[in-house]
Amino acid sequence: MKQEIKPAAGRLGIMVVGLGGAVSTTLIAGVLAARKGLAKPIGSITQMAAMRLENNEEKLIKDIVPLAKLDDIVFGGWDIFADNTYDAAMYAEVLKEKDLKPVKDEMEAIKPIAAAFDHNWAKRLNGVHVKQPATRWELMEQLRQDIRDFKATNNLDRVSVLWAASTEIYIPMSEEHMSLDAFEAAMKADNKEVISPSMCYAYAAIAEGAPFIMGAPNLCVDIPAMWEFAKKMRVPISGKDFKSGQTMMKTVLAPMFKTRMLGVHGWFSTNILGNRDGEVLDDPDNFKTKEVSKLSVIENIFEPEKYPDLYGDVYHKVRINYYPPRKDNKEAWDNIDIFGWMGYPMEIKVNFLCRDSILAAPIALDLVLFSDLAQRADMYGIQTWLSFFCKSPMHDMEHEPDHDLFQQWRMIKETIRTMIGQKAPSYLD
């Protein structure tokens, strides 16, 4: 049965946490350039991907469901540094000056609001453009006011909030995260040990009816308290951690091994990365958060309990090394020890010289546009169908995430077909 979807009328505000970061400025510059016809939105599913309908007709996804148009997007957000997005993009050195100059005036006009920041959650950063609240609850209320002000000032119809800031330190889920009442009490008690800055952003967004997307591996919106709040407010939430480089490769290669019933003895992954993200991850407490996210992928795909002879003893190691000269141009190495017929060993080596923000920017755009679509279709709570874009897809206590990239892509198509009241084509799609 076809779902009722409100039209994407009016202007959509995208409020980015980490507005001056490499991913954010690359996203903003790319959207502005695409609006001027100066660049193509390559890598964006919402802008360039097609799918088949029930009658075997193939159409672009943006022509099947009502997505917000790039011309209707207004950017804003928060950052711990006060630089406008043009100056921040020049500092990040992801894009060349010749690609930034045509959108310079627009980017210079996009300036960050003072951010919610706690040095203890990202010790390698020293924020200078930050709020000074008395409690976590007051911090959240200031963020809510920022969202209201941004919406009113820019005459926006809708707002989505996107976390594109650094990875916070690793913390386990605690009692304060298990219910909305306990979570709110911890915020009001200013319990800084369990209430992170990102949680304040997430709560503020949900409270204002704005979809929230977690682009880092932080423990944030993937807790029972947030699931309860999102359902109460009928707001979509999604995440976590943009699946851009090395992990994207794993979600392609691992299903191939499993489909061919080839065994795996070990998978060693390491990479070098500069920029602010690399600097933050150089701290062991912050790296732990990323490590947990990256390690979860292949075990889920391989299902070792079902295939012990093939995947019952896989040694999986992940390393990230901060290397400033590379800036945003990450280089990833994977050594995979596999075995085949009669147990004979083989090796696969992958060397991926990628551009982190070039891969992440279209993911961020797609997550925002699909989340806005979900909001208008009254699809609230965890958006499982957006797992395709995330290293560590959100899920509740009763379900396991699916990390297989091709199964995740199918989930997107099936969800879109459900929205428009169609079934899959008669052949395998």
Where do the structural domains in the chain lie, given as residue ranges?
A: 12-242+357-419, 246-353
Which pLDDT score is estimated for 427?
Answer: 63
Which pLDDT score is estimated for 314?
Answer: 96
**Which amino acid is present at 125?**
L
CA gap 240, 214 in Å, rounded: 5
Q: Are 151 and 13 in contact (CB under 8 A)?
A: yes
Q: Which residues contact 200 (CB under 8 A, 6 or more apart)?
A: 116, 136, 139, 140, 143, 187
CA gap 242, 364 in Å, rounded: 8
Which pLDDT score is estimated for 426?
Answer: 67
CA gap 214, 203 in Å, rounded: 12
Q: Number of C-alpha atoms within 13 angstroms, CB side, residue 340? A: 8
Q: Are 116 and 350 in contact (CB under 8 A)?
A: no
Q: Are 263 and 311 in contact (CB under 8 A)?
A: yes
Instruction: Enter the tokens of residue 13.
Output: 């505000």
CA gap 207, 42 in Å, rounded: 33
Q: Are 295 and 316 in contact (CB under 8 A)?
A: yes
Q: Are 244 and 267 in contact (CB under 8 A)?
A: no
- Bond into 240 cis (ω within 30): yes
Question: If we measure between CA atoms, which residue out of 321, 338, 339 comes closest to residue 330?
Answer: 321
**Weakly modelled stretches of the chain, pLDDT under 70:** 290, 293-294, 426-429
Tell me, what DSSP letter sits at residue 406? Answer: H
Q: At what angle do helices 136-153 and 197-207 cross, to 10 degrees?
A: 50
Which pLDDT score is estimated for 429?
Answer: 63
CA gap 220, 243 in Å, rounded: 17
CATH architecture of 246-353: 2-Layer Sandwich (3.30)
Which pLDDT score is estimated for 398?
Answer: 83
* C-beta atoms surrounding 284 within 10 Å: 10
Tell me, what DSSP letter sits at residue 384? Answer: G
* C-beta atoms surrounding 166 within 10 Å: 24
3-state secondary structure of 283: coil
CA gap 120, 140 in Å, rounded: 18
3-state secondary structure of 35: helix
CA distances from 99 to 39, 83, 177 (A): 9, 19, 44
Task: Look at strands 12-17 and 158-163 and give their pairing.
Answer: parallel
Which CATH code, of 3.90.700.10, 3.10.180.10, 3.40.50.720, 3.55.50.30, is assigned to 12-242+357-419?
A: 3.40.50.720
Instruction: Name beta bridge partners: 77.
Output: 16
Which pLDDT score is estimated for 1?
Answer: 72
Which pLDDT score is estimated for 333?
Answer: 95
Which pLDDT score is estimated for 291?
Answer: 74
Computed from CA positions of residues 8, 12, 15, 20, in that sequence, does the dihedral angle turn out positive or negative? positive
Tell me, what DSSP letter sits at residue 354? Answer: -
* C-beta atoms surrounding 385 within 10 Å: 21
Record the pTM: 0.93
Q: Are 17 and 164 in contact (CB under 8 A)?
A: yes
Which pLDDT score is estimated for 315?
Answer: 96
CA gap 382, 277 in Å, rounded: 26
> At 212, phi and psi to the nearest 5?
-120, 130
First to last CA, the chain: 20
Which pLDDT score is estimated for 8?
Answer: 97
CA distances from 214 to 18, 26, 126, 237, 387 (A): 12, 18, 22, 8, 12
Question: If we measure between CA atoms, which residue out of 380, 368, 370 comes closest to residue 229?
Answer: 380
